[in-house]
Amino acid sequence: MQPKTTLYIDIDDTIIAQVVPGSGFDLRPCVMTQLAVLGRMYDCCWLTSWPYAASDASNAGVPGAGPSVLTLMRCLYGSRINETFRYADWDRDHPDGKAGFVLCERAPEDWYWLEDPIPKGEQTALAEAGKLDRYLPVEPTGPWGFLDAVNELFVLTGKTAADIMHAGGRPEWFDRTTLSSGG
């Protein structure tokens, strides 16, 4: 059996965003359901500045350690997502930022990265490694940035409606028209 493609996913401005102009930050439509299905289709890994657990932030000397990935998912009834997702413990001081993690020697060969716009230095590092096409930019505002990037991922990895159903999902959960009509 061939290993699953690794999928790195950010949190801020990726799955949580300013969905409506002038609003606060919200989950994008249907994102928890989409994450659950993605976790069955890909080897998913959180690649975020958020600590994995609150204790990780306090151990790192972050005063008043705020939210963690574990707390976020638990509060959103998504604890099962963390049972299938890994967590990237990346070097926050690496000169190439998160790109340094996805490009490191021990990283998988087959991966994609869903993230809001990355700094020019990270883009350069990916381009120099011939991997810029593995980064799928997520529009940081509005309701559909994450879904649009996921649908691009499906095209690039050859995933079809049948693959979504095989993973226990429904294609309409990944269809902007269906989601925007509420139906």
Distance of CA 117 to the CA centre of its chain: 13
CATH code matching the domain that covers 6-181, chosen among 3.30.70, 3.40.50, 1.10.3470, 1.10.10: 3.40.50
Distance of CA 25 to the CA centre of its chain: 16
The first and second tokens of residue 21, run together, are: 């102009």
182: pLDDT confidence band, cut at 50, 70 and 90? confident
Q: What is the pLDDT of residue 56?
A: 66
Write down the pTM of the prediction. Answer: 0.92
Q: Are 20 and 55 in contact (CB under 8 A)?
A: no
Q: What is the pLDDT of residue 1?
A: 65
The answer, yes or no, to whether residue 62 has pLDDT greater than 70, is no
- Going by C-alpha positions, the residue among 136, 109, 129, 135 that lies closest to residue 4 is 109
